[in-house]
Amino acid sequence: MTRKGILFVISGPSGVGKGTIKEALLAKVNDMTLSISVTTRKPRTGEINGKDYFFVTSEEFTRKIDRNEFLEWAQVYSNLYGTPRNFVINELQKGHDVLLEIDIQGALQVKEKMPQGVYIFINPPSIKELANRLSSRGKDTLESISKRLAACEDEMKQVKYYNYLVVNDSVDEAVRNIKSIIIAERCKIENLNLR
Amino acid sequence: MTRKGILFVISGPSGVGKGTIKEALLAKVNDMTLSISVTTRKPRTGEINGKDYFFVTSEEFTRKIDRNEFLEWAQVYSNLYGTPRNFVINELQKGHDVLLEIDIQGALQVKEKMPQGVYIFINPPSIKELANRLSSRGKDTLESISKRLAACEDEMKQVKYYNYLVVNDSVDEAVRNIKSIIIAERCKIENLNLR
């Protein structure tokens, strides 16, 4: 019994813990290909080119836009981010599931082109908890944090465009729920090629 | 965040292991109300009235049909089986999930009245394996087994009316997959009452 590849999109407000959840999930789920974004942003400490992102110059990014090489792309603050189109589509055609971790703006663009994907919204337990997380990870300026919190309440209204909601109370619980969503989607009749 | 009760229907060919899976599942899933069928069949050894089934006479069963008290009812071999309508609907309205284990004929009837339910088809690994299981459990006559196997291949064509397919290769694996389906459905946006 073969089945089609499924696109799983993990998304949610900035600082909600998408990256941490993605890493923990990949360690626990079999047969999942990670989609890697292209970005013009500078690598943060510890980030590796070709693993965390494909880091490119603004000129390279613009060339890729012109060649229609992105499933979506967006400017977030002063940086550009994009999802390579061919990579995702080729993997799905081979019957491989693809995991895409992306911000809300990007997820909604991808959904226009890939409505058959599975869209999972990661919610913070509360705005206050999100503020604590953004401060304590120490990767962002105070100005950047303020911007993100203001955006977050608006972003949470987009949950209606998603298929699933997972609250990130604890990473273990969130990962367990997303893993269940992946297993369930793999059992869905419409995702199976039944003879 | 409250949510609606979800009706989960576990179904599949006779002897596929629905009963065993249901018992193992109930031990591992929280907050699940079991729907108990009404039947005119005689209790098998160890079966308890009000737990495994409500055992009634043919006269009582007919009165319940006349009063429209069943979500579905059917004759299977020489016995009558029915699902009490009010019990299921009341539980769902209270926000409780309900688990219904039922044969394929019954599941398809329930689906007509409750299309919003989650219909899970349990498949045997193969017809040969199903024959072995039916023989080895020693609860059925040879004639009954032959009838069931003939019916099974036809029944397996009904999978297209279900939402999910779970192959009962091993009970543990099947239960793990159904548990994942339950968790995933509880995370579905359409099943949540978002403010």
Provide the pLDDT for residue A151: 80
Query: How many Cβ atoms sit within 10 Å of the Cβ of residue A85?
Result: 19
* Angstroms from A79 CA to nearest CA on chain B: 31
Instruction: Compute the count of residue pairs across chains A and B with CB atoms less than 8 Å apart.
Output: 68
Q: Which residues on A lie below 8 Å from B159 (Cβ)?
A: 189, 194
What is the helix, strand, coil percentage profile of chain A, to 5? 45, 25, 30
Provide the pLDDT for residue B125: 81
Are the C-beta atoms of B25 and B99 separated by less than 8 Å? yes
The larger pLDDT score, comparing residue B143 to residue A39, is at A39
Mean pLDDT of A112-141: 86
Residue of B119, B129, B116, B122 lying closest to B191 (CA atoms): B116
| pLDDT over 90 percentage in chain A | 63
**B7-191: CATH architecture:** 3-Layer(aba) Sandwich (3.40)
Provide the pLDDT for residue B10: 96
| Mean predicted lDDT score pLDDT of chain A | 90
B189 closest CB neighbour out of A162, A180, A194: A162
Give the tens place of pLDDT for each residue, B96-109.
999 999 989 889 99
Q: Which residues on B lie below 8 Å from A192 (Cβ)?
A: 165
Provide the pLDDT for residue A195: 53
Give the tens place of pLDDT for each residue, A30-52.
899 999 889 999 999 999 998 88
Place A1 in a pLDDT band, splitting at 50, 70 and 90. Answer: low
Residue of A42, A21, A154, A28 lying closest to A100 (CA atoms): A21
Give the tens place of pLDDT for each residue, B75-131.
888 999 999 998 899 999 999 999 999 989 889 999 999 999 999 999 988 777 778
Q: Which residues on B lie below 8 Å from A118 (Cβ)?
A: none
- pLDDT of B66 higher than 80: yes
Structure tokens at A191: 């995702």
* Angstroms from A153 CA to nearest CA on chain B: 13
* Angstroms from B147 CA to nearest CA on chain A: 24
Are the C-beta atoms of B100 and B12 separated by less than 8 Å? no
Provide the pLDDT for residue B195: 53
Are the C-beta atoms of B178 and B10 separated by less than 8 Å? yes
Provide the pLDDT for residue A179: 97
Interface with A, mutate which of B30, B118, B164, B182 (most A CBs under 10 A): B164
Place B30 in a pLDDT band, splitting at 50, 70 and 90. Answer: confident
**Residue of chain B whose Cα is closest to the Cα of A184:** B181
- pLDDT of B176 higher than 80: yes
Provide the pLDDT for residue B49: 94
Provide the pLDDT for residue B108: 94
Give the tens place of pLDDT for each residue, A50-99.
888 899 999 999 999 999 999 999 888 899 999 999 889 999 999 999 99
